Structure 1
Amino acid sequence: MSPKPSRSRIRVVPAAGAVLYRMDGDTPLCAVVHRPRYDDWSLPKGKVDAGESVPVTAVREMLEETGFSAVLRERIGTTGYPLKENLRKEVTYWSALSTGGAFEPNSEVDELRWVPVDEAMQLVTYPLDRKILTRFDAAPRARSVLMLVRHAKAGRRSEWSGDDDLRPLDKTGRAQAEMLAPMLRAFGVTRLHSAPRVRCEQTLAPLADELGEPITVEPALSDEAYLADPAAAVSRLGAVAAGEGVAAVCSQGTAIPGLVRDLAGPAGLDVGEGSTKKAGVWGLGFVDGALVHADYYPSPLPLF
């Protein structure tokens, strides 16, 4: 008896989009776009380009379709639908706060409307877009955002003979750090903080060079400092988050899960063990010091 033929694998086409919004007093106005090719109203989105992380795609597509730049906030969710046999498109959406721009009709979009959420739900053509808008409407609007980064790959500790504080990134780690820079920019990072480890500072170095900003060393946010005084580490992270603009903090594999769990517990958010792989990032949103969202992003250059 011959074996049964194996089922063909479904190939996923990754894409990204956002609920692009700006505030009118206390009311968010959402951007909904009309695409003449399909004669539909939808949220801005598009396919991931080769070598591009998904958050970067979301910001790029918004700019190309709407003319507005933006910074990502919380991840709203992922929708999926079949394109044809064995081919499926999956779109990850964020809320994205507009930072300025102007719309001009282009090859993809001929009209843009800024409308309140309830009007946007009536305007969009597809139920999946209404689902995303419903989630956007229900999500708390973070007043401050912090990106908590685990340092990139630094080789084996057993193969480093010097002071472990000075262990640098290896070749793969340097590549991860380069790819982290545009991903962190997509979330609007303007301030850089690091545990006192060379590998942590090197992880943020490419973005520091691009921004022309210094990296502030944070002794309270290393592994040993967290283990010695978790409350002090949580307090310091909260103080960094409360500063002006979005901060990125690079730390280590023991401190980060502990900090995430300590913040998420009182907020009732499920973050599991808070596990964070090398060059992984937690996007943390706060309202009055309380955590309101915690989104995990794997390294934009994963290790296989």
Structure 2
Amino acid sequence: MSTDTIRAAGAVLWRDDDGTVEVAVVHRPRYDDWSLPKGKLDAGETVPAAAVREVYEETGYHAALGRHVSQVHYKAFGRPKVVDYFSARALWGSFVPNSESDELRWLPVPEAAALVTRSLDRDVLGAFALVPADLKTVLLVRHAKAGKRENWPGDDDLRPLSSAGWRQAEAVRSLLPLFAPGRVYAAPRVRCVQTVQGVADDLRTSVRREVRLSEEGYWPDPDAGLVRFLEITGDEGVPVVSSQGGVIPDLVTKLADIGGLRVGDVPCKKGSVWVLAFTRPREGWSTSDSVVGWPRLVSAHYLPSALPAPRP
């Protein structure tokens, strides 16, 4: 992406009102238009962080991010502009008129689409409405950098993060709370655990070791690893799962195949995060059932780094 590109982020902020999904649309007095909350990234800010901040500044609501809904491209002031939109569940807050937005309306999606001024916002709402709002989010993390294997004299399972890896781990610690995680899992290698230990510490929980999601535990029986991952997905709350580069591409590809989702190549840089969104499993589901009742992957969004992008 060109260094001349303006990066921005926003969200479809939603709530459940007695079984009806409503989304927030704001009126911006500066432009006299109705819009989804969005805005430009601040210096040193990631795209997800900007989405959460802009939602709060324009609506007054704290929110938990979910799936990536769409990316919009257009020209602004003669420069290319890219806006990433996430689904965002309203947690708490209240709207107070301000200089950026002087009115907020909670509306069902069709009414919100009729109200927004820009056709691009209607396209985003259309993409949001393609799948249920209340999906299960899973944050699949590849462990951060741990130096070269040939330079570590001990047991490879004990190879720790490098100084660059610790910087990545701190970035993961800052990024993942934007999605409101509640559980933390890791392949039982030191570098996998260290990558998400800060997230677990902030949640005041422990990192649960998952042998099936390590390379040596996954490949003897990939189907068992897939089943274990789906069991983690089906439990309550948003899980964080830290695994390895020899597992993640195959796992995401298998999940996409089951869900009928096209993902193509599955990149997996160290310190990267896959934001996976699944339909909620059928009540009382079990992995012994037909795959029809399993959580089904409907969105897979790749964040190549938890670190903010360098500014031009």
- Using the size of structure 1 for normalisation, the TM-score is 0.93
Within 5 A, what are the aligned runs for 1:89-128? 89-128=81-120
8 Å Cα contact 1:200/1:251 also seen in 2: yes
Q: Indicate conservation of the 8 Å contact 2:21/2:133, yes or no.
A: no
1:57 corresponds to 2:63:
no
1:295 aligns to what? 301
Contact 2:44 2:308 in 1 (8 A): no
Which residue, 13, 21, 32 being the options, matches 2:14? 21
* C-alpha contact 2:45 2:308 (8 A) present in aligned 1: no
Question: Aligned partners of 2:16 and 2:48: how far apart in 1?
Answer: 22
Instruction: Report the count of equivalent residues.
Output: 295
Work out the CA distance in 2 between the residues paired with 1:178 and 1:50.
Answer: 18
User: Counterpart in 2 of 1:267?
Assistant: 259
Q: Which residue matches 1:77?
A: 70
Write the mapping of 1:211-222 to structure 2, written as runs, cut at 5 A.
211-222=203-214
One-letter amino acid matched to 1:53: T
Partner residue of 1:248?
Answer: 240
> Offset at 1:142?
4.9
Mapped partners of 1:63, 1:147: distance in 2? 23
Residues 26, 103 of structure 2: 8 Å contact kept: yes
Decide which of 156, 162, 166 is 1:164's aligned counterpart: 156
Q: Indicate if the aligned counterparts of 2:44 and 2:309 stay in contact, CA closer than 8 A.
A: no
Gaps of 5+ in 1: 1-8
CA distance in 2, matches of 1:302, 1:265: 31
Shift of 1:209: 2.3
CA distance in 1: counterparts of 2:36 and 2:86, whole angstroms? 11
Query: Within 1, Cα distance between the matches of 2:45 and 2:207?
Result: 25
Identical residues among aligned pairs (%): 50
Q: Is the 8 A contact 1:140 1:292 kept in 2?
A: no
| Larger mean Cα displacement after TM superposition, 275-284 or 76-85 | 76-85
How do 1:24-43 residues align onto structure 2 when only pairs under 5 Å count?
24-43=17-36
TM-aligned CA deviation for residue 79 of structure 1: 1.1
The letter for the 2-side match of 1:298 is P
Partner of 1:4: none
Letter in 1 for 2:30: R
Between 270-279 and 239-248, report the one with greater CA deviation: 270-279
Q: Distance in 1 between matches of 2:158 and 2:98?
A: 51
- Structure 1 position 218, deviation (Å): 0.9
- CA 1:298 to 1:263, structure 2 compared with 1: closer, same or farther past 3 Å? same
Q: How many Å apart are 1:141 and its aligned residue? A: 3.5
Tell me, yes or no, if structure 1 residue 235 matches structure 2 residue 241: no
> Aligned partners of 1:67, 1:201: CA distance in 2, in Å?
35
Give the alignment's Cα RMSD to 1 decimal: 1.6
Segments of 5+ residues of structure 2 without an aligned counterpart are 282-294
SS in 2 for 1:262: helix
Distance in 2 (alpha carbons) for counterparts of 1:28 and 1:302: 32
Point out the more displaced range, 44-53 or 111-120.
Answer: 44-53
The SS at the match of 1:270 is coil
Deviation string, structure 1 residues 257-285 (Cα, Å, up to 9, x no partner): 11111111121111223221111111112
Amino acid at match of 1:76: V
Structure 2 counterpart of 1:148:
140
C-alpha spacing 1:303/1:108, structure 2 compared with 1 (3 Å) = closer
Tell me if the contact between 1:142 and 1:292 (Cα under 8 Å) persists in the aligned partners: no
- The separation in 2 between residues aligned to 1:34 and 1:106, in whole angstroms, is 10
Range 200-209 or range 251-260, more displaced:
200-209
Superposition deviation, residue 224 in structure 1: 1.2
